[in-house]
Amino acid sequence: VVDPGQSILKPFLARLLLRSLLTPRERQAVLDLPFDIRQVTVHVDFVRLGETTDHSCLVVDGLVGRFEQTRKGERQITALHIPGDMADLHSVVLPKTSWALQALTASTIATIPHSALVRDADRFPALSRAFWRDCAVDASILAVGAVNLGRRDAKARVAHLLCELRYRYAAIGELKDDCLPFRLNQTQLGDVLGLTPVHVNRMLRALREAGLATVINQQAQILDWAGLQSAADFDPRYLHLMREDWLGADG
């Protein structure tokens, strides 16, 4: 049988190559990582708050959210992960979780043991750097999310998230005719944006009535890309989707 690992891990490798230069041997090391496949159900934490993990979770298909919560149980989604994303690569260095991972729609994930990731990182410094860089990009997205929550009004927040997802789905080839997967319901969207579901609904209506974008049927359609970006005050640089964007000390 052909090793099925290659096809599962290819999107992860592609993600790394978007931002880091890797030699053929380093690439092969990524593709040779061991993993287990799991189907995860909606609304079930497959990584729980406060546990200690020994593996990281690669999103193969679906949509995964990183949740944090206040003691009284109000949840905030602090990150969204689409296929090709490693949802908790940072757990390699911080295995005791202060977050939970939950599928926002039925999803497939591949779990990769930390021990294997650490072994490869130790063998190939450039790979270690690539992992670190990927976590730094996650942090960059988190920081822009904080700007969104702290400084933008509800309409701009929704528009901003749409713009971000458009870029990220485009980067994995899932943008067709300005349509992208949008597998979040309005409650989950509120948990990302710090809004109530009711208000999310009103803002989606506002975007629709302004002719900027529509969300129907697990799909978002962008009607006026320039207008949406302007409403969102969007600048895609923080997503670091082009290796040309940077030239690090590791060339």
Partner DNA sequence: CGAGTAATTGAGTAAGGTCAATTCTTGTGG
Partner DNA sequence: CCACAAGAATTGACCTTACTCAATTACTCG
Contact footprint for a copy of itself (CB under 8 A): 50, 52, 54, 66, 68-72, 74-76, 78-79, 90, 92-96, 98-99, 114-115, 117-118, 121-122, 125, 128-129, 131-133, 135-140, 142-147, 149-152, 193-194, 233, 235, 237-238, 240, 245-250
219 lies in the site for DNA, by CB under 7 A: no
Q: Which does 163 bind (CB under 5 to 8 A by kind): a copy of itself, DNA, none?
A: none
Number of other CB atoms surrounding residue 197 within 10 Å: 13
Cα separation, 184 vs 175, whole angstroms:
17
In the complex, minimum distance from the CB of residue 2 to a copy of itself, in angstroms, rounded to a whole number? 29
Q: Which does 153 bind (CB under 5 to 8 A by kind): DNA, a copy of itself, none?
A: DNA
The correct pick among 111, 128, 140, 186 for binding DNA (CB under 7 A) is: 186
191-210 residues near DNA, rule: CB under 7 A: 194-199, 201-202, 204-205
The correct pick among 76, 111, 128, 185 for binding DNA (CB under 7 A) is: 185
Of 37 and 146, the one with the shorter C-beta distance to a copy of itself is 146
In the complex, minimum distance from the CB of residue 36 to a copy of itself, in angstroms, rounded to a whole number? 17
Q: Which does 209 bind (CB under 5 to 8 A by kind): DNA, a copy of itself, none?
A: none
Judged by CB under 7 A, the number of residues near DNA is 17
Give a three-class secondary structure readout of the chain: CCCCHHHHHHHHHHHHHHHCCCCHHHHHHHHCCCCEEEEECECCEEECCCCECCEEEEEEEEEEEEEEECCCCCEEEEEEECCCCECCHHHHCCCECCCEEEEEEEEEEEEEEHHHHHHHHHHCHHHHHHHHHHHHHHHHHHHHHHHHHHHCCHHHHHHHHHHHHHHHHHHCCCCECCEEECCCCHHHHHHHHCCCHHHHHHHHHHHHHCCCEEEECCEEEECCHHHHHHHHCCCHHHHCCCHHHCCCCCC
Of 95 and 194, the one with the shorter C-beta distance to DNA is 194
| Binding residues vs DNA (CB under 7 A) | 153-155, 185-187, 194-199, 201-202, 204-205, 217
